[in-house]
Structure 1
């Protein structure tokens, strides 16, 4: 493994501003190659997809390249890669489509660990057709998700679960959940938005029927991605315009795709594939090596932060699951976390405080809708960033 964080950081124009970024879970900074790809698409001949003009061929090539790139990142079939405005929008569309086949007596399962984008679309869709919603809880002391099996039955149609909590970092055992869900004859929807930025992903190995993520969390532009088996997508018939394609995956993509954002998405995946320069082979193999290198880089930084926070008076880390991402939720006995957010911002350290749309999780932790201070590491976080953060937090609590 050869991971040069100093060289990596030089590829991020935004880092020249001197801000220590611990806000990656809300959206990463973007490398020069991604910005260049977006600009290149917008400043080259571009038109609606087709095969006649150069602009049409360029658009078609951008879409095909982006599907292949995301398939390599996720271990998925490029024919099952769907693009949309956001993960939230894609999930709402999918929920409405699936719910068309549900009715009274059918059940779905959502968790209190999830971001609301993998809760509310399913709750609303179930409510519209009279289906029952069952809630899977987690232990607020450990952050561990409860066993899904007791909630499953022959009436279960879908289980929606996060691959990693965007608030406290918990990584449930998705493969084990998938086995239980499939044994009950149900489908599994996995929110991979947070997890995809931190480690290798293999959608097939996880057993996810649907896996959604957001490129802007892993160095790319603002759009959403849904991965599924194309054979499964063939069985679904979303509402669409009459003239639009009925082919898979196009039938799930409403309107004209944002070609410049897809070009940036491909560039982000290619950039990630090069994070371990020693890795060889095809892009999928290089991505597996590079994302493993990301995890190895972030882990000791996370431990440094946790060890330091353990010695600060009145400070608690609420991210305690045995398997978790390098994302820490921090609470204070005698301080408002919003004050910590503002204090750190004054030191040019970005570490926001909120519930970050994980309302059910925040409420279950006893933090209400306000949440608390979240510290998220990224592939470009270095020891100097961590030094600045720890010094700032120590000064904030008067240690």
Structure 2
């Protein structure tokens, strides 16, 4: 069952205080690990979200510093605390708490290990990050200054080989502008089970299966606003053999949205072929998504898929669309002049899966006036990116995206635009 937010907040604060140990307890500590990372990002955006967002031109810097302490007690227990400071410069308007959070607790948990049947079982309680599979449905949300975290409990049981099982019950943390004021949401509860890295009979292929539950108050879709209680069951097949690699995932959702039934689905793929014998070792890739939308408003059934807590940005660094009511096709090519240097070029076409449903802007906002239009074509984007692992601790990245709206958005003011970002990430 979902946990009460007051209890989760109290446990998180207690864990943070517990790391300030008195002198007589210091001899219990076998190892104290300290570290962190610093990220600096420059972003320039013209007509963001196909011109449907404001301001129309935004040039800004994002500054992020994370510091952590990992205290080990023997070989079975640990306490982990991570602080985050996210600030902005040049932001047009008032930045959200995910971008401007002066100083707060990103993670603060206690963890202990048991070995039933000789297999490690780790139990964790407190504030923590979650990421499963390909991060299509549960991710840390790396794009903004403040990564996504949850308050709650989690158990991870490592089984034979790399196979492992996770069970969790948490509430998402809502970053707020200010210092030490982030709180877990009393309007959302998230729970589930995820079985990862299951061996299959096919060489080079492994599988994940999962169940994810969500309870969300006052959820909004083109069909209106209501209480959302949604259940997701899904599976992922992934692997590599020779020059080919693949990653396929499908999920089905059911539950209730107010008095309506939820019936939604998604199918996603990311496959490629690496021609290692050719210059620059090109990988020819193809990404594709089919994500359901609502076929008829007010019919007692909601067909819009909810991607829950996905990686953001999702389709490109420009973050032009949320993964709801979408058909997506993205052929791309990646070249590697050196082992530490990569470049990627891709084209991305976007269509509405259901014409009657709306276009959803990030994170999951139905854009007024986009439901029921004659065209499904949302638009397209060209993506160019590069990454350089300068050292083991320093990474540099760049992304450029040019996007153009289709007929489904031009009628509500959609405009062509551009996005550029430059990132330097240092770990220490």
Greater fraction of residues in helix: 1
Give the number of the structure whose alpha-carbon radius of gyration is greater.
2
Class of the TM-score when normalised by the shorter of the 2 chains: under 0.3
Q: Could you say which structure has the higher strand fraction? A: 2
- Scaled by the length of structure 2, the TM-score of the pair is 0.26
TM-score, normalising length: structure 1: 0.27
